[in-house]
Structure 1
Amino acid sequence: MDSELQMPAPVCLIKNAEGKLMTNEEALRILSTISQPVVVVAIVGLYRTGKSYLMNKLAGKKKGFSLGASVQSHTKGIWMWCVPHPIKPKHTLVLLDTEGLGDVEKGDNQNDSWIFALAILLSSTFVYNSMGTINQQAMDQLHYVTELTDRIRAKSSPEQNEEDSAEFISFFPDFVWTLRDFSLELDIDGKSVSADEYLMNSLKLVPGTGHKEKNFNLPRICIRKFFPKKKCFIFDRPAHRKKLCKLETLHDDELDSEFVKQVAEFCSYIFKHSKTKTISGGIQVNGPRLQNLVLTYINAISGGDLPCMENAVLALAQIENSAAVQKAIAHYVQQMNQKVQLPTDTLQDLLDLHRVCEKEAIEFFIKTSFKDINQTFQKELAAQLEKKRDEFCTKNIKASADRCSALIQEIFSPLEEEVKQGTYSKPGGYRFFTQQLHELKKKYQEEPGKGVQAEEILQQYLQSKQNVSDALLQTDQTLSEKEKEIEVERVKAEAAQASAKMLEEMQRKNQQMIEQSERSHQEHVKQLTKKMERERKELVEQQERTIALKLQEQARILKEGFQSESRQLHNEIQNLQKKLSAPKPLCVIS
């Protein structure tokens, strides 16, 4: 669906009916068809604050998400609109519009908290939309952010009762606050400031340990701790109040020019700066992965559990790693069928082709798998590749045996017919028979394409005709008893030599298989080690970014005079630095 992604209108992704959150099959099916990486932008805010208008603009449409024209909340649950990303080639922009928070008709604050939490879990950019200025009332309405640690877990079994905010920073989205109908001048203490500076000033804490001060500071602390990147946009009133009910039908020249400019700046920022949605380990999310995240979170909530990022990633890894094994095996089989012409001349010829195809299969698995705990799936891949290799070896043996048997039938059948007719049952017949046999053996050995069973099938045939040879020898009257005894010993010696040669060949083949198994193991280790080193580097970079953000926040909090909060951040930074400096052994496949 990527190249022809056409969603003429949004569809409901998560239904909110009778106090229960449920997924919508049509929306999940659409996600399952999007193989491209997704940039997910979610918007939340009080109902009737114009969220849907902004989302329609991001979709490049006037209509789509329901704006509503009354005081009722129109959007229920979470609605989704997938459109080609306007400036990122081969990316899909997924827009999530949420039902208005604080809907008086709903009377259920519990669902509001879940909608808020899901919007954060699913998005790479989280837009909070509110009216007017950032005052205490606006902060009080954002109390959902203070409940996030009660709604979301980063790890399935945190080491402490309270999870470090660093765990959340690693997967929380960027935060954008949009202020609608903003009518004040952007200045602080008489100095003109940007919208971002206005936001940072509004997030300053007030000193004191009383109930009032704690209530004031808590949402500000949460926003500062959980969201590493923060941005603010202000919007003038779009038009006269009477025109607002027809907002989606108005042309830009009928709207306030400053508002049109502000919306364009907002859209430009979202398009340029919203990141591809990723999960733990820097894994990019595509449509099917987003689909599975939605299902995992909703199932957890429905079951009375807290959505857990680590569990969601592990559940996703189970699905994708299992599929990666099967796809890698399918790739191996396809490549072997294309490259191998059975029978091969030698076992080594087959093993050389196996090694090339095996390497490609491992590369495919390594590229598409993630969070393969204890290399469970890679070990499964190794076992299946070995099984498939052995199957090709068996097919190779059979193809060679069939080819050789047919060749022996073709070459030696005239000799057998002459034996039946008594051509060699006369004086001197034995020597004539052995001469003919030698010439036919030479002819057989000169035939190309016999494969790995050439000598064994020949020896089996010759062994089956030994009685005929013995009878001709004993009845040949031109040979003395002494000559017959010498001939018997010669034949025995020749047979023993052939058996020894076959045994040596068998041992050589066994050694080749052992050496190939070792090479296969080394290929797995080599590719896995490179991957783990790459992931380790990415993790270090992520932790260094988190430390840098926390150091910035600590400096700001210390400057504001909050010693206790500064010490807490200091401890979190130290814990991260310890993790960063601790050598982590590479766990490779055994």
Structure 2
Amino acid sequence: MEAPICLIEKLQDGRLQVNAEAIEILSKIKQPLAVVATVGMYRTGKSYMMNKLAGFEKGFQLGATVQGKTKGIWMWCVPHPRLKEHTLVLLDTEGLGDVQKGNKKNDTNIFCLSVLLSSVLVYNSIRTIDEDAVEKLRFVGELAELIKVRSGDNEDNECQFSRHFPSFIWLVRDFTLNLEMDGKEITEDEYLENALLPGECQLTAIVSAEETEETSMRIHSQHAIRMYFNTRKCFVFDSPTGDKNILQRMDEVSVEDLSSIFVEQCQRFCEYIYKNAEVKYLDDITPVSGEILGQLVYKYTEALSSSGIVCMEDTVIRISEEQNKAAVQEATEYYEKRMKERVHFPTETLEEFVEISAKCEEEALEIFMKRSFRDSELNFHKQYMRNIEEKKKHFSNMNETESRNYCDQLIKKHSGDLEEALKQSLYSKPGGYKKFQEDIKLIQQRYNSEPRKGVEAESVLNNFINSKESLRIFILVTDETLTELQRQNEGFPIVAATVFLLISGPRAVTAVQFSLQFIQ
């Protein structure tokens, strides 16, 4: 992709709508995806960091005013800078807390979709991780109301979130504090972990049940982040520059115009993402491709828009059924296509056909197995095998038909003189049987010398010879009868006997033999 595209559009009435054009782009990506989504309050520099991850200065739209620019969720797919045959998908989301939107539910849905679709969730805030910053992450605490791991009201759902949720990275922009605690230096990660621990006064408030609503929400958010996101990381950034004009043109200025510390911090963040961003998985086993991500986008957005609840297991089951059906179809079509390309009908031997078919079956099975998943009962695998057997039988019948038709033409071509001789009764004379046998043998020789007759070659030839069996007997008896009459030169005149045989056909043989016995 040369530029980002809107993946999930926010309509004027606040509803979220999937962009079919973006899904079409995703459907063409067969590689595993690492999906990085950025969320946070509006005007905190989310889009700038996404552009840096993409390796460009421009891409996701930046804003220089108090009004948020990004609406809905935008997507940018780029080759992964570190992993070959992988794609890095960047999702830039609409800023949270924009007072002009006036719809908190929209913020919650955007945050929920970001969590569900990503393998790395980047949260942007400014200046410090304080009580206010944690309170603004109330969306984390609301996830349990929107997401279910399994169907039904299972109390263990929240405990299982960490198995399915992305890793969590907190970016603190325009950070001015010293990373110290109790007079000792601490790391960025330690700074985050300490911010996520309830303070002594907060714990006392829990016991006394006198906490304010804000305190309760903050504690709930802290607990939810620790419980839902097993892998957590923190980066702090200095201000890019003290020049307001430069800040308003961040997508236009060069790195030379920015603080060298900020530039270094950006590079460190990008390198961490490139190295540590995990591939998105659907069921702990199946890596998410572009096609599967597109299905997740549709189903998650639809679920939030309709029922307001997403069941991850139900979604995986539905996608697995669709993927397995598609796997059966794709593998079957592959087998059919390759057989048409590789089999030159008719094949010379049955072994040649079987060998080609086996190779195509092996390749088709590999395609099926690569795309199929969660087929524990092997129902789709069995359907695939039935399809292949049906197609194989079809091609086998086609191979036989082509061979039979071709061989029939060859027999017709090489037996033309024989048929003409039969019409003219050239074999109904003394010595005719020998001539008939010689002509039959000549037909066999010419027929057998023809290449690529196929699997029905012997059958067609045998059918031809069998079809002449009654004629062969008739010509043999006629030859013997006429030869005997000629030798004896008495009894029935030879001419009269010949006419009698020609008129009466094979049924006259018995009569002639009886006459010869009478004469003797």
TM tier, shorter chain? 0.7 to 0.9
Alpha-carbon distance in 1 for matches of 2:412, 2:251: 85
Cα drift, residue 434 of structure 1: 4.1
Question: Relative to 1, partners in 2 of residues 1:74 and 1:426: Cα closer, same or farther, differing over 3 Å?
Answer: closer
Contact 2:9 2:71 in 1 (8 A): yes
Q: 1:145 aligns with which of 107, 123, 140?
A: 140
Q: Does 1:411 align with 2:414?
A: yes
Question: Relative to 1, partners in 2 of residues 1:321 and 1:460: Cα closer, same or farther, differing over 3 Å?
Answer: same
Question: Relative to 1, partners in 2 of residues 1:210 and 1:140: Cα closer, same or farther, differing over 3 Å?
Answer: farther
Q: 2:58 aligns with which of 60, 63, 85?
A: 63
* Residue type of the alignment partner of 1:171: H
Alpha-carbon distance in 1 for matches of 2:195, 2:160: 25
Cα drift, residue 117 of structure 1: 0.5
Q: Does 1:182 align with 2:164?
A: no
Give 3-state SS (helix, strand or coil) of 1:370's partner. Answer: coil
Q: 2:131 aligns with which of 130, 133, 136?
A: 136
Contact 2:37 2:93 in 1 (8 A): yes
Q: 1:201 aligns with which of 194, 219, 228?
A: 194
Q: Which residue of 2 aligns with 1:572?
A: none
* Residue type of the alignment partner of 2:242: H
Cα drift, residue 98 of structure 1: 1.4
Which deviates the most, 115-124 or 63-72? 63-72
Contact 2:34 2:87 in 1 (8 A): yes
Contact 1:38 1:276 in 2 (8 A): yes
Contact 2:348 2:453 in 1 (8 A): yes
Cα drift, residue 436 of structure 1: 4.3
Give 3-state SS (helix, strand or coil) of 1:43's partner. Answer: strand
Give 3-state SS (helix, strand or coil) of 1:374's partner. Answer: coil
Alpha-carbon distance in 2 for matches of 1:147, 1:248: 34
Q: Does 1:234 align with 2:229?
A: no
Cα drift, residue 135 of structure 1: 2.1
Cα drift, residue 316 of structure 1: 3.3
Cα drift, residue 111 of structure 1: 0.9
Question: Relative to 1, partners in 2 of residues 1:466 and 1:314: Cα closer, same or farther, differing over 3 Å?
Answer: same
Give 3-state SS (helix, strand or coil) of 1:351's partner. Answer: helix
Q: How does 1:395-406 map to 2 (within 5 A)?
A: 395-406=398-409
Alpha-carbon distance in 2 for matches of 1:433, 1:70: 104
Cα drift, residue 475 of structure 1: 3.6
The aligned length equals 474
Contact 2:149 2:157 in 1 (8 A): no
Contact 2:148 2:157 in 1 (8 A): no
Unaligned runs of 5+ in 1: 482-487, 489-590
Q: Which residue of 1 aligns with 2:10?
A: 16
Alpha-carbon distance in 2 for matches of 1:236, 1:202: 19
Q: How does 1:145-184 map to 2 (within 5 A)?
A: 145-155=140-150, 157=151, 161-165=154-158, 167-184=160-177
Show CA shifts across 1:219-269 (max 9, x none). Answer: 222111211211001122333374443444444444343333322222222
Q: Does 1:426 align with 2:398?
A: no
Cα drift, residue 176 of structure 1: 0.3
Cα drift, residue 20 of structure 1: 0.8
Give 3-state SS (helix, strand or coil) of 2:81's partner. Answer: coil
Alpha-carbon distance in 2 for matches of 1:304, 1:465: 78
Q: Does 1:6 align with 2:8?
A: no
Show CA shifts across 1:403-458 (max 9, x none). Answer: 32123223332222222222221234345534543564465456554333233323
Contact 1:428 1:478 in 2 (8 A): no
Alpha-carbon distance in 2 for matches of 1:422, 1:473: 13
Which deviates the most, 60-69 or 196-205? 60-69
Contact 1:56 1:65 in 2 (8 A): yes
Show CA shifts across 1:458-482 (max 9, x none). Answer: 333234334433433454425789x
* Residue type of the alignment partner of 2:440: L
Alpha-carbon distance in 2 for matches of 1:347, 1:94: 50
Cα drift, residue 321 of structure 1: 3.1
Cα drift, residue 298 of structure 1: 1.4
Q: Which residue of 2 aligns with 1:491?
A: none
Q: How does 1:46-125 map to 2 (within 5 A)?
A: 46-125=41-120
Cα drift, residue 183 of structure 1: 2.1
Q: Which residue of 2 aligns with 1:536?
A: none
Alpha-carbon distance in 1 for matches of 2:417, 2:313: 74
Q: 1:31 aligns with which of 26, 39, 54?
A: 26
* Residue type of the alignment partner of 1:52: S
Give 3-state SS (helix, strand or coil) of 2:148's partner. Answer: coil
Alpha-carbon distance in 1 for matches of 2:259, 2:478: 119
* Residue type of the alignment partner of 1:115: I
Give 3-state SS (helix, strand or coil) of 1:42's partner. Answer: strand
Alpha-carbon distance in 2 for matches of 1:437, 1:79: 79
Cα drift, residue 115 of structure 1: 0.5
Contact 1:186 1:194 in 2 (8 A): yes
Q: Does 1:126 align with 2:126?
A: no
Cα drift, residue 47 of structure 1: 1.8
Q: Which residue of 2 aligns with 1:512?
A: none
Q: Which residue of 1 aligns with 2:389?
A: 386
Show CA shifts across 1:312-365 (max 9, x none). Answer: 333433443333333323332343344434333443442233222211211121
Q: Does 1:293 align with 2:287?
A: no
Could you state the TM-score of these two structures normalised by the residue count of structure 2?
Answer: 0.82
Cα drift, residue 141 of structure 1: 1.0
Alpha-carbon distance in 2 for matches of 1:81, 1:426: 91
Cα drift, residue 120 of structure 1: 0.8
Show CA shifts across 1:106-164 (max 9, x none). Answer: 22111111000011111111011112322222221111101112112223x25x62244
Question: Relative to 1, partners in 2 of residues 1:395 and 1:49: Cα closer, same or farther, differing over 3 Å?
Answer: same
Q: Which residue of 1 aligns with 2:500?
A: none
* Residue type of the alignment partner of 1:172: F
Contact 1:425 1:475 in 2 (8 A): yes
Contact 1:47 1:100 in 2 (8 A): yes
Q: Does 1:283 align with 2:286?
A: yes
Q: How does 1:163-562 map to 2 (within 5 A)?
A: 163-165=156-158, 167-205=160-198, 207=203, 208-211=206-209, 212=211, 215-240=217-242, 242-243=244-245, 244-372=247-375, 374-430=377-433, 432-434=435-437, 436-438=439-441, 440-441=443-444, 444-445=447-448, 449-476=452-479, 477-478=481-482
Question: Relative to 1, partners in 2 of residues 1:141 and 1:331: Cα closer, same or farther, differing over 3 Å?
Answer: same
* Residue type of the alignment partner of 1:403: Y
Question: Relative to 1, partners in 2 of residues 1:72 and 1:442: Cα closer, same or farther, differing over 3 Å?
Answer: closer
Which deviates the most, 62-71 or 45-54? 62-71
